Amino acid sequence: MAGKRSRCSFSRLELILIVCLVLMISLTVALLVLHFLTRNTNGKCSYPSPVPQGCPGQDFSDRGTGGGLQVTAELSPPPSSVPVTHRNDQRAPLLQMGYANPEQVGGGLLSRLYSRAFIVAEPQGSQRVVFVSADIGMVSQRVRLEVLKQLRSKYGELYRQDNVILSGTHTHSGPGGYFQYTLFWITSRGLVQPTLKSIVNGIVKSIDIAHENMKKGRLFINRGTVENSQINRSPFSYLANPQSERKRYSSNTDKEMVLLKMVDVEGHELGLISWFAVHPVSMNNSNHLVNSDNVGYASYLFEQEKNKGMLPGEGPFVAAFASSNLGDVSPNTRGPFCANTGESCDNPQSTCPVGGASMCMAKGPGKDMFESTRIIGQNIYLKAKELYEKASQEVTGPLSSAHQWVNMTNVSVELNATHTVRTCKPALGHSFAAGTIDGVGALNFTQGSVEGDPFWDQIRDQLLGEPSNETKACHQPKPILFNTGEMTWPHPWHPDIVDVQIVAIGSLAILAVPGEFTTMSGRRLREAVQREFDSHGSPGMNVVIAGLCNVYTHYIATYEEYQLQRYEAASTIYGPHTLSAYIQLYRGLAKAIALNGTQELSPGPEPPFFNVTSLTLLPSLSVESAPAGKTFGDVLEEVRQEYREVRGEVAEVTFVGANPRNSAENATEHNFLTVERYSNISSSWRVVLNDASWDTRFYWSKGTSGRSNVTIEWHIPAGTEPGVYRLRYFGHYKKRVNFLRVISVPFEGLSSAFQITAP
């Protein structure tokens, strides 16, 4: 009867779901058609030509530091920000990367996104290593390949795939559109070249700054516990791990922060890198403002503290708060609650009695996502500040690096002397579509699904093809929703070739992992690598995991967690033995480093570079207009005449605006806004804040007939110096000169002066 009903009639819910799926497939087809209409017909791979920095499509600025061992590096002089924020035309806006929520489109700016680069070099040798922490969701294979190509053209073989680590902080509030694999085109509405180029150019520029400012220095390491900043969002999966293993740990998350402090030989402060496991999802999937989330706020606080008197984003001190094994770690410390009833939904399926899984959402410690971001970010910053001030264990020793490309679809793993298993072609399970308590899915999927749904399986088979029996068997008990490893049109939907990499800086070993390891997965990997170093003459290594590096492969759950098939397990794309494969591979890299045998490592099969040069549904910028009797930059809603210096006061002004993508294209202004204070001494206005400040917000709203508004908010913090202030807006609008030519015209907007008084 069920089979007959599915052919002849559908419930209302099923009809809604079918419509949603058809719309999604239509979007995919449109992208693919666009791709084939614009692709190069010769079929050869080609790297796009570099373009000037400040392309539209990405807010991406750069910071850099360089150095040597014994030795550390100099941070850059005040870096020039790539002008740029990413703003989107709301007729076809660019999605933010992370939640895969079609409603989460960019509509403003809360904070800038930065690339922070660190170089460590041996003073008397050619060995050097680069670590980059970038404020993006994750590093894509396309980004890494293009960065390495630019570095090779500038520096020859000095910076290579083995000694350059690119790590994403995993903010979910940055733009998408910088991937070459088909699955990510759907959630990002294509490959957006301006976004890709801005990210690549920003990363390369930060490395350039570090390279140009090398100086002798010293490195110190410290570690400590961060409290009240994380929970395990899949505690039932964690409990599936052996009790004997769990008993060795006091928590179901890794609370330890590892911090690397950098000073010059005279003791002058230069910078730091911190590794701590927490998802930057304090800003939830209702957010539309580009920002770097909780770890970005921690960087902001530390850099403002050390670069006193400088505007945000300026100054020599660079503080990177990098990702680690954050796969099942949430900053939403109050846990999951049903949005419609308020009751807890901390159950194995994360579902609510009314509304199901889509109602089960985690809450942060604050009253809203902005406050939660600040609370978690400040917690992280305060612990890092403590560890930085007390760091006394010096890092010394040689530099080395080991890297291989590996075909992760068919790795043979020796579990023991008698049992060998293999990894699988990539596939995503049904629970992938359920999302997590940090960002729930749509439709009717739930976490913990170990059986398929006949309704969705039938649609999958008809539209995408049924998974092969081999793939089904390999991924058991995962019910496959998308058999991406067998979907290759127009390009593969997921990567086969993956980077594995370890960089050793004296006694510090950085494991650059290509995805999101869960808490226990990260612990097993670190311990296995630690034992490998110990057994080959390199005892006492400090092993840290750097997450979201070099290529994105979703999640890595333990074998036991995989059996429960919550979101993280359903997103472990290479099957139940993925972690075992990575442990085997990273042990091999550690052994090569310990025995000084990295030159004997096989480089492995190089990853492909697909000839995708233009693939997006984002429309070109069009001519814009101002309302009758108005011009661009005119004030529509004015500030008040007076505000008090108390928390909660917000100075707000609305201007006749234009699409911010115009300004990003022109790259003539480094800011979209400034807060200025009048000086009675000099009888002039002085900039006290810019658009990199976490106290300012920039909102753009698209109207009709080429019109749009920009609203600037300044959330006046306690302690603001009383005085006379004003808000300034910088923009560009498109103007048609003749039938064939459209130009961008710069303009400014200025609020009235207003007074801030003491409370």
Q: Which residues are annotated as a binding site for Zn(2+)?
A: 170, 279, 516, 555
Structural element, H or E, at residue 374: helix 369-390
- Residue 656, SS3? strand
Which residue in 429, 436, 473 sits closest to 453, CA to CA? 429
- What does the alpha-carbon distance between residue 239 and residue 687 come to, in Å, rounded to a whole number? 53
Residue 605 neighbours by CB distance under 10 Å:
12
- What does the alpha-carbon distance between residue 408 and residue 604 come to, in Å, rounded to a whole number? 11
Judge whether 95 and 176 are in contact, CB under 8 Å.
Answer: yes
List, in sequence order, the alpha helices (H) in 552-696: 559-562, 567-570, 578-594, 660-666
Please state, in angstroms and as integers, the Cα–Cα distance from residue 216 to each residue in 220, 399, 400, 405, 478, following that order. 14, 15, 18, 33, 52
Residue 212 neighbours by CB distance under 10 Å:
12
- What does the alpha-carbon distance between residue 47 and residue 164 come to, in Å, rounded to a whole number? 20
- What does the alpha-carbon distance between residue 424 and residue 475 come to, in Å, rounded to a whole number? 7
Catalytic-residue membership of 701: no
- What does the alpha-carbon distance between residue 604 and residue 170 come to, in Å, rounded to a whole number? 27
Judge whether 446 and 397 are in contact, CB under 8 Å.
Answer: no
Please state, in angstroms and as integers, the Cα–Cα distance from residue 569 to each residue in 327, 521, 546, following that order. 10, 11, 20
- What does the alpha-carbon distance between residue 539 and residue 583 come to, in Å, rounded to a whole number? 18
- What does the alpha-carbon distance between residue 5 and residue 500 come to, in Å, rounded to a whole number? 49
C-alpha dihedral over 9, 13, 15, 21, to 10 degrees? -130
- What does the alpha-carbon distance between residue 438 and residue 456 come to, in Å, rounded to a whole number? 24
Say which of 330, 521, 571, 751 is annotated catalytic.
330
- Report the DSSP beta bridge partners of residue 405: 499
Which residue in 751, 737, 548 sits closest to 643, CA to CA? 751
- Residue 306, SS3? helix
- Report the DSSP beta bridge partners of residue 231: 330
Please state, in angstroms and as integers, the Cα–Cα distance from residue 501 to each residue in 129, 291, 510, following that order. 12, 29, 8
Please list, in sequence order, all residues whose beta carbon lies within 8 angstroms of the beta carbon of residue 253, skipping any fewer than 6 positions away: 230, 231, 232, 277, 328, 329, 519
Query: What does DSSP assign to residue 56?
Result: T
Judge whether 39 and 91 are in contact, CB under 8 Å.
Answer: no
Please state, in angstroms and as integers, the Cα–Cα distance from residue 678 to each residue in 530, 642, 685, 724, following that order. 58, 15, 4, 6
Which residue in 191, 201, 209 sits closest to 146, CA to CA? 201
Structural element, H or E, at residue 274: strand 269-275
Which residue in 84, 79, 114 sits closest to 295, CA to CA? 114
Residue 77 neighbours by CB distance under 10 Å:
13
Judge whether 284 and 101 are in contact, CB under 8 Å.
Answer: no
Catalytic residues, by residue number, are 330
